[in-house]
Chains A and B, each alone.
Chain A
């Protein structure tokens, strides 16, 4: 009994000493944590009724409870962060925002911070739920499609120092019905790989890719990496790319481009192929046949293909074995279609022959000579 009373007295004495010591805020925090005024955050997914047409959902983020501050009248901020923890707390992946107002600096990850106002007392309590933000779901980008576990973290910070005064986090589940950015990235990567593979296969069928051609592909990859950071993964992969002139490999690459790329990706692939083949000494009939076939399978209009071919191939110094393909001429054409096609191209190039840029004038001269040769039956090769 005596022992019990002694322990109690010591404990009381200790608590009294602690109360008057600098550790009092820690003690208060512990006591507060046990109280019903514990600082708490809440995130909910709601249908945005103000925008019924869009049927967009919003994440409503709220907070309640005691906000401990080292002094009275402290100016504070409040921040909200979201992490995707579907794969576990130790494997978090970022949630991205497409709206710059929900980002920190240049990082695309979601981050929101706003002025919370002055907390009047050291242990002031927010007695009812206060909405910090309603985040439209359409501005967020999640890693993958499907059921996601999202961890919302709310922090109150000292406005002057940025020091966290208190924070809380809550996890909710959300079903994401669109493709996630990882999936999109993987697809984009696949599209880029297919483009590079096609360029390598058409550029050096069954041979080792020439250094200049490799350089051209590397430049292309680097350029893509500027707008699509994951593209730099391609560089390593590219070292082992196969250049085998394998029809089935070409078909597979075309299928991947068709399945996962959009029209812009397909144009880009054709342009890459062209940039690579001009690095060779000559453009063979086999290469031009491949190019026409690939373009047809990718659903690219012949006029677009011709325009790209003329723009890129005529700027180069390489010899073209079958120059008539540059004019969209093929052997199956009847006399009338052949003439009409030549006239159409003549009209186009004749208008360019007085262009102020000497390179374009030179291209126009070459093409007009080619058209005249084809018309008079003297088909030659375009070379410089």
Chain B
């Protein structure tokens, strides 16, 4: 039997957990003995070909920020992002694969890690999910599934605590923020809705501290504190320390060294909380939006579960207490619960898809766990209905599968051809909530050949389905002729590596050694 594992590929830290013989998840420490590994990569310029991942990469970054990468998760799936090192351009998936490789390498000392589930923020779109899977494949892992981070945390929480009722998972991590509302009854979980903010996390709080540093220095010398990338890297790392200290103490003193001289700056917790007030406001809005979508109100929430390192900030806990009227739950380790839940998810996935790979002990441990997930995004197609106000045709995105529909789900809508003799239909599959096609993401497009010489208004039935593995399938059916068009989601146009090039890239990535 292979080792079943779950990976939390975080913005600032990553972790790996494996299922033990009785189906309980355990964190696997890295080669430095740490339970979480910084998601940082450094390409050593002194030792040719050496790629450092983790704490060492963070430490080296200040010396040469040009050869370091942090917070790569924020760029996952971004076809325009590249890091050029020694004449090689690294994509976000390749950089992430180096982090995963380090986790795999360190976790395979006892027995090799093979089948894994990687966690992603709930709001990650298809492109980013696919990019995350690609990163896993490049790292030589067999990625059997993707799980939403708050779902993974809740899965771990539900299997380790006695909980019953409606729970809100507040996941404020290093780079992203997710809110999930779910119903838990023992080991049964039903997700009601997930909402996320792509650009809100510890990194943004750190930036506010850097701004406070800069402000203090400007006030003293009327000159800029940060003059180079090295300076920025240094103060970003210091800001992270200051943030952590301010979670424990009311103030911190720091000496800032700039070109004009040094300044002794004191940052109080009050000052810091004032600076991050608008970011906290964003988290509060997201909670309200999630509750609206879950058709729930504050009084119906029985527990608030904290996940992610940034929830250690006192302001977060204080504001949540003010909002819900009770202390949020810190029953699980906020840095580890996602990886632990991802390992449970991996066990459940294998029990469903390849039971022969799962040991009897794990089956006994997980047999009572059940959970129902939801569709993470809305999916639709582009059509041209008549605008009620102007009476003219307008191009619109028509949503077919709505966000937060319980999985598995299937929906069909009927559209009609527009002109006489229309012999083809340009179909587009969209992901997004907007009616305006400008603002939605076209994730696939095809041409549907139709029989010629027919009058307009021929019905075309469009069926979308979404399976438990979070994959979407689309079918277009021409009613009159019975012709069908199956459209598979393909992220190649969005910058993901093509299947033909995949093997070559995997082989190449295999040659890079991480330390």
A residues touching B (Cβ–Cβ < 8 Å)? 262-264, 267, 301, 304, 307, 311, 339, 342-343, 346-348, 350-356, 358, 360, 365, 368-369, 371-373, 375-376, 378
Is A376 touching B123 in the complex (CB atoms < 8 A)?
no
Give the dominant DSSP class at B's interface: mixed
Interface Cβ pair total, 8 Å cutoff? 85
Is A348 touching B390 in the complex (CB atoms < 8 A)?
no
Is B197 touching A350 in the complex (CB atoms < 8 A)?
yes
**Least Cβ distance of B281 to chain A in Å?**
4
The A-contacting residues of B in range 277-295, CB under 8 angstroms, are: 277-282, 284-286, 288-289, 292
CB neighbours of A376 from chain B (8 A): 277-278, 280-281
Is B436 interfacial (CB-CB < 8 Å)?
yes
Is B277 touching A351 in the complex (CB atoms < 8 A)?
no
Q: Which of B198, B392, B436, B494 contacts A353 (CB 8 A)?
A: B198
Contact mask for chain B residues 102-136; partner A; CB cutoff 8 A; 1 contact, 0 none: 00000000000000000000011101100000000
Q: List 28 A-B contacts (CB under 8 A).
A: A263-B389, A263-B390, A264-B390, A264-B392, A301-B389, A311-B438, A343-B292, A346-B286, A347-B433, A348-B433, A350-B197, A351-B434, A352-B432, A354-B198, A354-B441, A355-B441, A356-B127, A356-B441, A360-B438, A368-B197, A369-B278, A372-B281, A372-B285, A373-B278, A375-B281, A375-B282, A376-B277, A378-B277
Is B439 interfacial (CB-CB < 8 Å)?
yes
Q: Which of B279, B292, B433 contacts A372 (CB 8 A)?
A: B279
Is B127 touching A375 in the complex (CB atoms < 8 A)?
no
Bound state CA distance, A378 and B275, in angstroms? 11
**Least Cβ distance of A74 to chain B in Å?**
39
Is B199 interfacial (CB-CB < 8 Å)?
yes
CB neighbours of B123 from chain A (8 A): 350, 354
Is B259 interfacial (CB-CB < 8 Å)?
no
Is B80 interfacial (CB-CB < 8 Å)?
yes
Count class of interface residues, chain B: 35 or more
Known: A346-B289, A375-B285. A267 touches B390 (CB 8 A): yes
CB-based closest 7 A-B pairs = A376-B281, A375-B281, A372-B278, A351-B433, A372-B282, A376-B277, A376-B278
Bound state CA distance, A263 and B439, in angstroms? 24
Known: A264-B390, A375-B281. A354 touches B289 (CB 8 A): no
CB neighbours of A360 from chain B (8 A): 438-439
Bound state CA distance, A347 and B433, in angstroms? 9
The A-contacting residues of B in range 470-500, CB under 8 angstroms, are: 494
For the complex with contacts A354-B124, A368-B199, 13 further pairs of A-B residues with Cβ separation under 8 Å are A262-B390, A263-B390, A263-B391, A311-B436, A351-B432, A351-B434, A353-B197, A356-B441, A360-B439, A368-B197, A371-B282, A372-B285, A378-B278
Is A375 touching B390 in the complex (CB atoms < 8 A)?
no
Is A343 touching B285 in the complex (CB atoms < 8 A)?
yes
Q: Which of A339, A358, A378 contacts B288 (CB 8 A)?
A: A339
Is B277 touching A352 in the complex (CB atoms < 8 A)?
no
The A-contacting residues of B in range 187-216, CB under 8 angstroms, are: 195-199
Is B199 touching A365 in the complex (CB atoms < 8 A)?
yes
CB nearest to B285 among chain A residues: A346
Is B284 touching A358 in the complex (CB atoms < 8 A)?
no
CB neighbours of A372 from chain B (8 A): 278-279, 281-282, 285
Known: A262-B390, A264-B392, A342-B285. A354 touches B433 (CB 8 A): no
Which of B277, B282, B438 has the largest number of chain A CB atoms within 10 A?
B282
**Least Cβ distance of B404 to chain A in Å?**
12
Bound state CA distance, A373 and B285, in angstroms? 12
CB neighbours of A348 from chain B (8 A): 433-434
CB neighbours of A263 from chain B (8 A): 389-391
Known: A307-B436, A352-B432, A358-B80. A347 touches B278 (CB 8 A): no
**Least Cβ distance of B169 to chain A in Å?**
18
CB nearest to B197 among chain A residues: A350
**Least Cβ distance of A258 to chain B in Å?**
14
**Least Cβ distance of B287 to chain A in Å?**
10
CB neighbours of B439 from chain A (8 A): 351-352, 355, 360
Bound state CA distance, A342 and B282, in angstroms? 10
Bound state CA distance, A368 and B204, in angstroms? 13
Bound state CA distance, A119 and B282, in angstroms? 87
CB neighbours of B278 from chain A (8 A): 369, 372-373, 375-376, 378
**Least Cβ distance of B233 to chain A in Å?**
23
Bound state CA distance, A356 and B81, in angstroms? 12
Is A353 touching B433 in the complex (CB atoms < 8 A)?
no
The A-contacting residues of B in range 439-466, CB under 8 angstroms, are: 439-441
CB neighbours of B389 from chain A (8 A): 263, 301, 304
CB neighbours of A365 from chain B (8 A): 199
Bound state CA distance, A167 and B79, in angstroms? 71
Bound state CA distance, A201 and B196, in angstroms? 43
CB nearest to A353 among chain B residues: B198
CB neighbours of A267 from chain B (8 A): 390
The A-contacting residues of B in range 253-299, CB under 8 angstroms, are: 277-282, 284-286, 288-289, 292
CB neighbours of A339 from chain B (8 A): 288
CB neighbours of A346 from chain B (8 A): 282, 285-286, 289
**Least Cβ distance of A375 to chain B in Å?**
4
CB neighbours of B288 from chain A (8 A): 339, 343
Bound state CA distance, A355 and B124, in angstroms? 11
Bound state CA distance, A353 and B13, in angstroms? 23
CB neighbours of B199 from chain A (8 A): 353, 365, 368
CB nearest to A311 among chain B residues: B438
CB neighbours of A304 from chain B (8 A): 389
Is A352 touching B282 in the complex (CB atoms < 8 A)?
no
